[in-house]
Amino acid sequence: MKRLSFGLLPLFVTSLAFADPTIHYEAPNGHDYDGLSVKVKVEKMTKQKGYYWANTFIFYEGNHQGYMGIQPRESGSQNLAIFSVFGSGAKSSSPNCNSGADGGSGVSCRVQYEFVPGVNYQLSITQQPNSEAGFNLWRGTITDLDQGKTTTIGEYMTPTSWGKLWRKATFFDEWFPFNAGPKDPAKRDCVPYAKLLTWNPVFIRQGEQTVSSVKGSRITSGQDKCAVEQGAPNVRLTLGSDYHSVETGIFSPSAKQ
């Protein structure tokens, strides 16, 4: 993984060249939040493996970071909801979690979850009561807001020395097959069209909610052969006041279907 510079601290996201667009958020103040939630809705997607739509979060002390998000899978396979953290010292006994994250130290949790276009979902990380001294316990969930049903993705513990959640977060949109593909954009297949709505993250401290606001965005990559042909990124980001439209593959043949 590479890092995006964000404020005073670098922010982990997936490979810089292939995570686009990105949206940076901040709450007004604080580095001791015990929860974070983000609402998302897929409006259109191809049922295939490749996309990862996620939001990062940061444990303030020592800049330990993680993310939570959703990944579609190919027809015949269930989609995924993912909840991960990076750094030595994190651990989990959850059946949905494994040691290690993206080839490094940390914990990665995932659950098969068949999210569908047109439904409102909420991804959340919340601190849970914990009896083990020296650790904070965190739970990752995804909620079908239309049905009111919450599914636990997994739980992990982080050292108390990591602190709680900082006031900054980032949304990223990744087409991860490019991470191991050609470096020349002209040799990369056009990404399939997809459209996602994502809302400003809500930070939580002792039950009090604080809505973040957009502090920056990036739409400078999105490079594939369709982008080369058009002379522009094969993505579109439309920022609103509280939610935002993210479209990828806007020049791809599937965008016309």
pLDDT at 18: 54
| Tokens representing residue 245 in the block | 């439209």
For 1-47, the pLDDT digits (tens) are: 333 333 333 333 333 345 679 999 999 988 999 999 999 999 999 99
Average pLDDT over residues 125-146: 96
For residue 165, the one-letter residue type is L
Provide, rounded to the nearest whole percent, the portion of the chain with pLDDT above 90.
77
Torsion of CA 46, 52, 55, 60, to 10 degrees: 170
For 45-101, the pLDDT digits (tens) are: 999 999 999 999 999 998 899 999 999 999 999 999 999 999 999 999 999 999 878
Domains (range + CATH), the chain? 2-256 (2.60.120.200)
Tell me how far apart the alpha carbons of residues 59 and 68 are, in angstroms, rounded to a whole number: 14
3-class DSSP state for residue 118?
Answer: coil
**Closest C-alpha to 21, from 245, 207, 227, 201:** 245
The H-or-E segment that residue 122 falls in is strand 121-128
Tell me how far apart the alpha carbons of residues 180 and 160 are, in angstroms, rounded to a whole number: 36
Helices within the chain (DSSP H only): 225-230
